[in-house]
Chain A
């Protein structure tokens, strides 16, 4: 139960950072998302993101910053087995479920739904 509260607080906090980037620094949503993804990869490289995921669960793994961290994690894991080329082959190892789901269901949605307006 405690985990749900931390997920709420940490997830909400990351979204507030995004909102501040959008409102105060006047970034577009796309720029905000890119900034957070790069931040996630850098934090993952410093070894700070995984403890956060362990602590806050979905609060850290649902925001887009975990996308950068997962990309990095896949690259590092594969490179430990196959050397430096593993950084290329393993980069989508963990995130592939998210990207595939988004592509497949996004395409299906375009078959079913018509745009409004």
Chain B
């Protein structure tokens, strides 16, 4: 893609692009992965602990305990976002906080808090799903397509 983009640029601009590429700080991929593994693993272990609590004290089953513990994780991460703690964890953990459901909650609440000054309807209401929206859209569309394929296969098999 980048070579296609470069063709439209003048030689001077191309020169600058290569210059910028060399000067760009190298991302410490391995270190980031280790951090993501640790933070993501810890968040999932907390989720497992919550599931265990819901199973032991609130009579949820193995199947149903996932939903309330996800909701609790979402509430915790929204609180941490509001208190300004989440940013520090996310800075260190990278994808470790973005990939679990905590990242989803963080994008919703941070967008809501950030756009509060634009009013409660258009600011908070309109921007809440600015970042989380694509995840829901692509999730629903892909799930719908896969579901239709599965139903069709089953229907053909049942003929």
Q: Is the interface of B mostly helix, strand, loop or mixed?
A: helix
**Which residue on chain B has the smallest CB distance to residue A71?**
B143
B113 adjacent to A33 (CB under 8 Å):
no
- Interchain CB contact (< 8 A) of A101 among B43, B71, B82, B84: B71
A11 adjacent to B41 (CB under 8 Å):
yes
Task: Annotate B88-120 by CB proximity to A: 1 below 8 A, 0 otherwise.
Answer: 000000111011110111001100111011001
- Decide: A62 near B100, CB < 8 A? Known: A7-B48, A12-B38: yes
| Chain B count of residues within 8 A CB distance of the other chain | 73
In whole Å, how far is B17's beta carbon from the nearest beta carbon of chain A? 15
A38 adjacent to B142 (CB under 8 Å):
yes
- Interchain CB contact (< 8 A) of B109 among A14, A45, A61, A110: A110
In whole Å, how far is A86's beta carbon from the nearest beta carbon of chain B? 9
In whole Å, how far is B62's beta carbon from the nearest beta carbon of chain A? 8
Task: Annotate B110-151 by CB proximity to A: 1 below 8 A, 0 otherwise.
Answer: 001110110010001000100110111011101110111111
A contact set with B: CB distance below 8 Å: 3-4, 7-24, 29-30, 32-34, 36-38, 40-42, 44-45, 53, 57-59, 61-68, 71-72, 75-76, 79, 84, 87-88, 91, 94, 97-99, 101-103, 105-107, 109-110, 112-116
